[in-house]
Amino acid sequence: MADNKNLINRRGFFRKAAAVSVTALSGKSLLANELAEKGDPAIMHHTKWGQKWGDPVSVNLYGMPSAYEHNVTRRNTKLLASGNFRASIAVTPIHESQGIITPNGLFFSRSHGGTAHVDPNEYRLMIHGLVEKPIVLTLAELKRYPSVTRTHFIECPANGGQEWRGPQFNSVQFAKGFMSSAEWTGVYIKTILEDLGLKPTAQWMLAEGSDNSKMGRTIPVDKVLDDAMIVWGQNGEALRPEQGYPARLLVPGWEGNLCVKWLRRLEFSQEPWYCKEETSKYTDLKPTGKAIQHFYANEVNSTVTSPSPEIPWTDLKDGDVVEIEGLAWSGMGTITAVDLSFDGGKNYVKANLKGLVLSKSWTRWSYMHAYKKGEKLLLTSRAIDDAGYIQPTIDQEIGVMGVEAVYHRNAVETWEVTEEGKVNHVQIRSI
Amino acid sequence: MADNKNLINRRGFFRKAAAVSVTALSGKSLLANELAEKGDPAIMHHTKWGQKWGDPVSVNLYGMPSAYEHNVTRRNTKLLASGNFRASIAVTPIHESQGIITPNGLFFSRSHGGTAHVDPNEYRLMIHGLVEKPIVLTLAELKRYPSVTRTHFIECPANGGQEWRGPQFNSVQFAKGFMSSAEWTGVYIKTILEDLGLKPTAQWMLAEGSDNSKMGRTIPVDKVLDDAMIVWGQNGEALRPEQGYPARLLVPGWEGNLCVKWLRRLEFSQEPWYCKEETSKYTDLKPTGKAIQHFYANEVNSTVTSPSPEIPWTDLKDGDVVEIEGLAWSGMGTITAVDLSFDGGKNYVKANLKGLVLSKSWTRWSYMHAYKKGEKLLLTSRAIDDAGYIQPTIDQEIGVMGVEAVYHRNAVETWEVTEEGKVNHVQIRSI
């Protein structure tokens, strides 16, 4: 385990890093360093891309990533979801993520009937039931309400849900990539309801999609009036088709499937609905044989993202200083701390929270570590939120839930670093 | 001009908005509203996209916008920059922007020799000159430094620079879209210099690109040590090729051309360089015949983005309540206030700042307005930053600079709303 006290001294740390940078260079780079010492930039002048004109700006008016990044994509597998690629999921390469924005091209995508392609001119949203003035809005009318912009994650409650009995995927993308984070623009539903008038008897809201699956979910009115939004913008542009273009529900911090895409209808009522996707799915079977329903929040959670099976430490040398990075998030508030263990959860040190720390948003954390060649580690992260919750151990969670549940698994995750620097997803049980 | 006091009362405002929403509906939608009043969702069930399977998730592992959004792209014209599409610029559709993130596909792009396609395995960065330990870094070595994530705009100092003598473009995209905003991930150069050791005689840093143009710019060491970064991540993924993949300089709040792309070399020295792009260009000719050099910050600025020539009010009806939106930004700090005028700058009211307000970052502002059919407006916005600066009038700015300068024009912009609701870019001179 790292002696982080020494590393906190920046001068001390950077002296170590300097030694690394030089010794890690290839033969060619060592030559380059000799030239650098002479102050001779000639070594920098022979790249093939610098010898010719680049592309005109006109060839790329809406851009794509470098071809060298072809490996950084969403991924899917028949093992996930329903076994076909329409009622399925494509998960985000969170090991390659940076900051707290997931670009729209990589935002995880879950649909129950495939991606619908909605004509915005034909789009209508009906809001009715227990409201004084039921209405059907065009997209232009919807967008005329005062807009707000908020940064929130969306997480499928099945994130990590394959892992109750132990790791199924030796991949952080497949194990924990059922989530992404974005800057959303839209209107608070409470704003629209101040216009339409919500009847006092209203206790629940049905949200229904216009796609082939007619996805329907029920949400308590208290949450709707707190912070639920109808959003049309994501990361500064229109929603992508696979995110529900032209408008979807956003229920910050709660199950991603509540964020109904291609949204066509909101209906307010006294009683909850029992739609297909909140009875046959998105309920959790307990050992008693009864299932938990009406439990919506994605509780406090975290994972290491680097190192990971996708980003091993096999190229590190003894003494290399490396940044252990990860994500923490809570659907119930703001992350206040992340602990990191090198021994699978027996002992913890405090990690550093990086960048913006926002409510119901990804929070990035890191820890500088001096790698010892051949060391074996069990990296476990544990997040704490301002609602007072801390991630449970898998023993604690299985003690309550058994192993028949699918959703809302937020026990700590452990990543084994082998003597060779390979990384494996493991589960630490003490029972 | 709007009586905003009445609108500030939310109930009062939304009663107005309600009347708008209903009366603005088409004949078909009025039928839909009758069905909505009966609580009959049948009207919502006949969309063509809901009658068939959508696309499988596997067809779109890296996504693109809806085909219906084909008109939302960067744009270019031979009128901009050098008259060819390699030493040219493609500007951002800021009228369609939302929040403070520009998606990578729409981030404005300026290059002097076209977009280079750099092989990240062959990428090298030399840091030399007045440092104790000159070095050549591979990309992996560069990324091993402790990273930070910051949200900043980049603005070409020529943003609005065609407009000294009056509006050239009746378009907010072409007139003010030489800028975008993103969440950047990389390393502070001061962090690297703590490793390499900066010699006390160093006063300037040369940054040089590896592309065909070998773009070179000089930056004072004080700014380098304050907040300059080498960035490899933009909005949660690798930089796009047109943004300098795999690594560029980021000089927060200063001229965009200092943010050298495809960065290959940083050299520290006692004296400034006089590169082509800081002598023949990026200097401002004054009426005296002398040019201003070594002036780098993009000063406090703002514009209305909606309404705009691209988003007119021709479809609004008398009494419609509409959100006037815009952007404000300052390269010298944080936006503290935005004023909005309806009469071309004679009288101002306070606009509302929306969402996150960050240093050297786009700040979004808005103002709710009750539209009166046939009204003629001159919408002028004026931003103030925490460095104590306020946007000048064009009279004030021309008084100092004349009309031969190109860069750093930050006078207030005015957008005329005609009786028909069309929007024109105009310039209000009192002299």
| A403 in reach of chain B (CB within 8 A) | no
CB contacts under 8 A, A 206-245 vs B, are 208, 210-212, 214, 233, 235-242, 245
pLDDT digits (tens, 9 = 90+) for A155-210: 999 999 888 888 989 999 999 999 999 999 999 999 999 999 999 999 999 999 99
pLDDT band at A1 (very low <50, low <70, confident <90, very high): very low
A36/B68 CB distance under 8 A = no
Q: Is A199 on the interface with B (CB under 8 A)?
A: no
Query: What is the least distance, in Å, from the CA of B65 to any CA of chain A?
Result: 5
Interface contact flag, B212 A52, Cβ < 8 Å: yes
Q: Per mean pLDDT, which range of B150-154, B156-160, B189-193 is the poorest?
A: B156-160
On the question of pLDDT at A222 being above 60, the answer is: yes
Indicate yes or no: CB of B68 within 8 angstroms of CB of A233.
no
For chain A, say whether B10 makes contact (Cβ under 8 Å): yes
Structure tokens at B129: 């000159």
Residue percentage of chain A with pLDDT more than 70 = 88
Q: Residue B83 carries which side chain, given as an amino acid letter?
A: G
Residue B124's pLDDT is 94
Q: Which of residues 107-146 of B touch A (CB under 8 A)?
A: 107, 109-111, 113-120, 122, 124, 126-129, 133-138, 140-141, 144-146
Residue ranges of domains in chain B, CATH in brackets: 4-38 (no CATH), 90-282 (3.90.420.10), 301-426 (2.60.40.650)
Q: Residues A17, A370: contact at Cβ < 8 Å?
A: no
**CA–CA dist B222, B40 (Å, integer):** 67
Distance, in angstroms, between A116 CA and closest chain B CA?
A: 5
Q: Between chains, do B118 and A47 touch, taking CB under 8 Å as contact?
A: yes
Does A98 reach chain B within 8 Å, measured CB to CB? yes
* Amino acid A286: pLDDT: 84
A101–B236 C-beta distance less than 8 A: yes
For the CA atoms of A283, A286, A290, A293, the dihedral, rounded to the nearest 10 degrees, stands at -30
Nearest CA in chain B to A94: B236
- Mark yes or no for CB contact A58/B88 under 8 Å: yes
* Geometric angle at alpha carbon B306, from B302 and B308, rounded to 5°: 95
pLDDT in tens, B83-103: 677 888 999 999 999 999 999
- Kindly report the nearest CA distance between residue A365 and chain B, in angstroms: 11
User: Touching check for A382 and chain B: CB below 8 Å?
Assistant: no
Q: Quote the distance between the C-alpha of residue B32 and its chain's center.
A: 40
A-B contacts (CB, under 8 Å): 462
Distance CA A32, CA A40 (A): 9
Tell me whether residue A297 is exposed, middle or buried, using C-beta atoms within 10 angstroms of its C-beta: 0 to 12, 13 to 18, 19 or more: buried
pTM above 0.95, yes or no: no
Helix H, strand E, coil C: the string for B308-356 is ECCECCCCCCCCCEEEEEEEEECCCCCEEEEEEECECCCCCEECEEECC
Confidence of residue B135 (pLDDT cuts 50, 70, 90): very high
Distance from CA of B97 to the nearest CA of A (A): 5
- Give contacts of B 277-316 with A, CB under 8 A: 315
What are the percentages of helix, strand and coil residues in chain B, rounded to 5? 20, 30, 50
